[in-house]
Amino acid sequence: MKDMYSFLRTNSELDVLIGMEYYVTSTPPIRGKLRKSPEDFQVFEVSRQGIIAINVKGLKVLYDKTRGLYAIYVLSKSNIPFNTMLSWLKSEFGTNNIGMAGIKDTRAVSHQFISIPLSDKVRDNILKSESDGRYIALSFVGFSPKGLSVGGNLGNIFKITIREVNVTRDVFKNVFEKLMHEIRVYGGLPNYFGYQRFGTIRPNTHIIGRYILLGDYEAAIMELLLSVYPHESPRSKEAREFLKETMDFKRALNRFPPSLKYERIVIKYLSRHRNDYKGALLRLPQWLRKLFIEAYQSYIFNKLVSYRLSLGIGLNEVIHGDNVFLLSSGYVRKAERDSDIDELQEYVDLGLARIELPLVGYATPINDTRLDEMLIKILEEEGIDLKLFKEVYPIAPPIKGTLRPLSCNPLLYDFSINDDTVTVTFFMPSGSYATVFLREVLKPRDPFIVGL
């Protein structure tokens, strides 16, 4: 058995709300601000082939060699929500078949690959800009026999600027070096789902998802419409409070601003079909309904990671019931016996394997193991039976469940310090969140205020 650790518990209410309860580093908080402008948070997708979505001219040399069924573009956007981007792409190309490897942060300048089924004419150099500086730009780079799908990238390079830093250059350098050392010692970062998964202004997508799974559609709708969170705009707060006090859907519709698009869809439906909460949910786009369930699935994963850390179990320690992914073969082995644990621990220590935890669904196996005891306790506290992930249809597609790495390792490329501004460039593997790394640096009481 490895050494037992004592990990630092967060003092952020938001972190606890989304199951992200611990830090693996013990470094003191660095005060600073992220995202003073979208350019302070830059994201560059890296394809499976190691191609970075930035140098379009260079990419054309790589992609133009073969003609396939899909056109590949680099999509660049600044401060554009995912649903806005998706609606524009569907309108621009006349298809719902938009392929991409992942959803990028809204409050950022991001560059990623997308695939569009090939039509008679390839589009190039498309730009949609807004008066407030927001934009979407598309550049054609070539063809592919296959479209892109979620998780189909190597990861992302992040160039992050932290402003108004409260320490000197030498202090920051020492803290940062210690932080990176601790991440290596403890087996990486906890591979938590980050704030974007749940929402930072209204961190309740998982709460809505839980109500949907339980079949309490009224509670799901009321959480969507009525719950007020601290960082919402005054107009949004006022609209929600009015509806909560009056439950007059017809009058409330005019008070909810156009930016609350999905609330307005639900309110409009309920003004005509009072108490039909299931019908109201079904008026929402399927991708959003699916997102609610996936957010809750992500919350359970975060809780399971936090449970392990609360027991002082390192991120690279194999315990009874763990799933261990062998990197050379792509095969997953279960640590069922003591001999399995010893052998698989050696693989993990040598960097030949990684521990993976359940991302739960209706087919997630539950056995008499130490890992499953933790999972059972979490599910019992939540009042959730895994079969509900199947019974959720037709509100959302059934979710079978899969595995997700317990830890992730940021690769630091560079950091520079100029007066009170720090710029950090690093790589995160596919599916991992830059904000999980940055929260270890900042350790904020209120992640929203600092820009996480």
Catalytic (active site) residue 105 = yes
- For residue 190, is the peptide bond before it cis, meaning its omega torsion is within 30 degrees of 0? no
Closest CA to 111 of 129, 132, 138, 93: 138
What is residue 243's predicted lDDT score, i.e. its pLDDT?
A: 97
What is residue 233's predicted lDDT score, i.e. its pLDDT?
A: 95
314-352 residue pLDDT tens: 999 999 999 999 999 999 999 999 999 999 999 999 999
The domains of the chain are located at 38-155
- For residue 394, is the peptide bond before it cis, meaning its omega torsion is within 30 degrees of 0? yes
The one catalytic residue in 3, 105, 368, 414 is: 105
What is residue 128's predicted lDDT score, i.e. its pLDDT?
A: 78
**Structure tokens of 337?**
């016996």
The class level of CATH for 38-155 reads alpha beta
CB 273 within 8 A of CB 279: yes
Ranges of residues in the chain whose predicted pLDDT is under 70: 1-3, 55-67, 120-122, 131
Sequence letter at residue 148: L
SS3 state of residue 161: strand
270-290 residue pLDDT tens: 999 999 999 999 999 998 999
What is residue 69's predicted lDDT score, i.e. its pLDDT?
A: 84
